[in-house]
Each structure stands twice: as C-alpha cells, then as structure tokens.
Amino acid sequence: MSHHYAQELQIALLAVQRATLLTKRVFHEKAKGTASKDDKSPVTIGDFGAQALIISALRHSFPGDEIVAEEEASALRENEGLRSQIWELVKTTKLNDTSAEEQLGGGIKDEAAMLDIIDEGKSKGGAKGRIWAIDPIDGTKGFLRGGQYAVCLGLMVDGDVKVGVLGCPNLPVDDSVSLDTKAGVDQSDEEGKGVLFGAVQGQGATSRPMSTGRLQGSKPIHMKRVEDITQATFCESVEAGHSSQDDAAKIAQKLGIAKPSVRMDSQAKYGSIARGAGDLYLRLPVRKDYQEKIWDHAAGDLIVREAGGVVTDVEGSRLDFSVGRTLAENKGVIAAPKAVHSQVLDAVKSVLAAK
C-alpha cells in the first residue's frame, strides 16, 4: 500500500504544538519542579507533562502503534507533589481551536490515567512495525537556562524514519535569520519566536510559525549551498560532555573554518541547518560507551535529509534506528549539505584517527 503519511504528519504537528504550550507555561512559572534521574540528568514537570499530552494524542489516532519515549512515571508514582503539579498543567493545556483539540482526542481523563499514559512509551523499538520516538523536552538543560530546546517526535516504520516533527519555541520564526554565537543563549519565546519543523520521507521538509491553535501555513526549507567551506557555520552541543568541543575545533581548523562554533542545546541544531541558518552539525563522541538515544535524533535526521542534507555517524554510516531504543550501531553525528558532507567527513576521520 502506498502511504503518504498525511494524517500522521498532521497529528504529529498538532501534538508537538500543544506540548510546547505546556513547556512554555512551565518556563514562565517560577517553580520549574526539577528532579534528578538515575543518570543525574535533570527532568522537569514540563518533560513529564509534554510526554503525557503527546502520547495521549497518538493513542487517540493510532492506537495500535508502539511508542519509545524518554521518560517514565515511576518517580511520579512516589511523589504526590510532583504528580499533582504535572496533572494541573496537563489538564489545563489545550489548543485554542476546537477542531484541532478534537483531532488530538481532547484531554486526559484523570491523574491515574496520566501516569499510565506516560508509561506507554516503554517499547523496546526495533526493525518491525510502526514505532513513534518521543523526546518531550530535548535539551532540558537548555530549557532550564533559557537556551534552545525542542519537543521531538518521529515515526519509524520497519526501522526507517518516515515522519519527523520538531517544535522549537525559542528559535526565530524567520528561516533566513542566520545563526550567530548568541543563538543558543538567553533565548525566550517572545514575539517572533517559535517554529515547527516537519518532514515526510520523499516529500521534503518544511517550517511554519508555531501557533496556539490550528496549524499555520508552511514553507519548504532547504540547506544552504556552501560555496566556500572556510565560511561555513557549524553548530555543536553546549554541554562539553555531550560532544567533544576540542575535536570539533581541530576539525574546523582542518577545514579552514575560522568562525567560532554556534553552541546550542537540543535538536534545534538539526532544524537550524535544515533551514539554512547554519551549515554543519558536528557531534563527536566524548565517552566510547555512550549510545545515542533514538529520540534525540529521529526527527532531526529526517528533516535534514529531506532539506538536502546527509546525516551519518563519524564513520560515514547512516544512523540506524532499527536496533532498539539507542543508536547502538553508530557513534556521533555528522550532518552537512550533500555537496560538502564527504569533505567534512574526511576531516572528521583524520582528526579522530590522529587521537
């Protein structure tokens, strides 16, 4: 059966847009309700609430699909204070358009149902069937410090990403605003900010302004043509523990790039290069044993490729989303326009080989 994924894209865009209404409320409230996970990374009431709203929307339209999501509810089952803060947000966050809200199936019944919904994201992933990957807040540290973050949703079918959506509340709406070194810091969702990226395999990538109700009109996006690699803008993580900034600096030097990197949190990096606001995204392994999570890359990988880019790991292999909840077969990420990707990859390989 040929499949155009029109309904999947529509629901994914609306679900992400609704979830960002919740994360924006959390950001503007003083008590951000932060907890610490087993791996010491932060999680907020925004992460749990956004995950609940997204899964609830997917369950309404696609009850048979599997879901891989970052968060789980066990910490909330033991913490009534945190749980009721989240429920308060979830039950009062709605799109202000009746038809859009109806497409998502409306709200969640009660607090107990919310916990069960959060726990529906425990699929092991894999190479068979329809599996959604959700990162309710990617870049939680960026979110907390007023930098970039993204609400991320991807649909994989038989291990291949077919639909990708990124909601970036703190990126400018205008695709033509080039990244500068301030793009990742002190950002807010004030007027002129908030963009939804979308892509369907074989159909290109788009951006549109975020709204509080129905979807706004979209525009196709494309990676920028790089005439001269020495003038390229590259982005990388803010957190030095997520990507080696030393290796990135050596790679930039090898390519003749003098401009400082743009450091920003989250998959906003993928969205930014896909729309031509920057050129390259380098993610260079710091620890040999870290496995990237599929929810940190699924949507961005498709959006960049549909905008005319190539995305590989540091060895030049495509990211393999078919092996479970992590990218166990890949190390790092190199994303670049098609015409220069191999040149960038050569520089990456030679710097990493020399270590």
Ligand X SMILES: Nc1ncnc2c1ncn2[C@@H]1O[C@H](COP(=O)(O)O)[C@@H](O)[C@H]1OP(=O)(O)O
Alpha-carbon distances, residue 211 vs 158, 270, 294 (angstroms): 32, 21, 27
Residue 296 interacting with Mg ion (CB under 5 A) = yes
Q: What angle do CA 22, 27, 30 make, to 5 degrees?
A: 120
- Whether the Cβ atoms of residue 268 and residue 171 lie closer than 8 Å to each other: yes
Span near Mg ion by CB under 5 A; candidates 113-121, 138-146, 174-182, 336-344 = 138-146
- Whether the Cβ atoms of residue 199 and residue 163 lie closer than 8 Å to each other: yes
Asked if residue 137 belongs to a known ligand binding site, the reply is yes
Residue 292 interacting with Mg ion (CB under 5 A) = no
Minimal distance, residue 138 CB to ligand X, in Å: 5
- What are the beta bridge partners of residue 161? 156
Q: What angle do CA 313, 334, 219 make, to 5 degrees?
A: 120
CA distance 139 to 67: 20
Taking the least distance from each CB to ligand X, the nearer of 237 and 261 is 237
Selected from 8, 44, 54, 70, the binder of Mg ion by CB under 5 A is 70
Taking the least distance from each CB to Mg ion, the nearer of 42 and 105 is 42
Minimal distance, residue 141 CB to Mg ion, in Å: 9
What mask, x for binding ligand X by CB under 6 A, covers residues 263 to 302?
--xx-------------------xx--x-----x------
Residue type, 320: D
Q: Which residues contact 65 (CB under 8 A, 6 or more apart)?
A: 58, 129, 130, 131, 132, 155
Catalytic residue flag (residue 140): yes
Selected from 66, 138, 175, 189, the binder of Mg ion by CB under 5 A is 138
As given in the structure block, the two tokens for residue 327 are 């990218």
Catalytic residue flag (residue 212): no
Asked if residue 296 belongs to a known ligand binding site, the reply is yes
Partner from Mg ion, ligand X, none contacting 242, C-beta within 5 to 8 A by type = ligand X
CA distance 154 to 311: 16
Residues in contact with ligand X by the rule CB under 6 A: 41, 138-140, 237, 239, 241-242, 265-266, 286-287, 290, 296
**Residue list for the binding site for Mg(2+):** 70, 135, 137-138, 296
Positions marked active-site: 47, 140
